[in-house]
């Protein structure tokens, strides 16, 4: 088992963020978002099951992004960080907020297709 997985289990408060970093990766997160956008553009050609699966994936990704933002905020609030570190953490938060908002748009579109 690699160090990153061990670290994920040992430090529960950072589990979602570490999962994104260790297993999914930010590039994978972005790739999934792009796939979701592409599929949503197809719209009505998606089956009910495809829409439901993509909605579950989108909800999971939004939850992971929310967790990452909260965990990054706790780093700032609970630890001594210098200014450059704080800027880096805030930048990471902004990235996750953007990704979350974009995935929320996908969810809204999927729900509108279902109704």
Domain range list for the chain: 26-114
pLDDT score of 48: 86
Looking at residue 3, its pLDDT comes to 47
For the domain bounded by 26-114, which CATH number is listed? 1.20.58
Cβ proximity of 30 and 99 under 8 Å = yes
CA–CA separation, 112 and 30 (whole Å): 23
pLDDT value of residue 95: 92
Closest listed residue to residue 111, CA positions, set 46, 61, 20: 46
Ordered per-residue pLDDT tens for the chain, 115 residues: 444 444 444 444 456 566 666 677 788 889 989 999 998 887 768 888 888 899 999 998 898 889 888 888 888 887 788 888 889 889 989 999 999 999 999 999 988 887 7
């Amino acid at each position: 088992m690699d160090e990153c997985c061990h670290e994920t289990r040992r430090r529960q408060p950072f589990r979602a963020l570490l999962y994104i970093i260790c297993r999914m990766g930010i590039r994978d997160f972005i790739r999934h978002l792009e796939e979701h956008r592409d599929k949503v553009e197809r719209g009505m050609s998606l089956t009910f099951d495809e829409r439901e699966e993509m909605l579950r994936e989108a909800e999971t990704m939004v939850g992971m992004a929310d967790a990452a933002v909260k965990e990054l905020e706790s780093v700032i609030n609970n630890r001594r960080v210098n200014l450059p570190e704080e800027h880096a953490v805030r930048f990471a938060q902004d990235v996750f907020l953007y990704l979350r908002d974009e995935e929320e748009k996908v969810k809204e579109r999927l729900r509108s297709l279902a109704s």
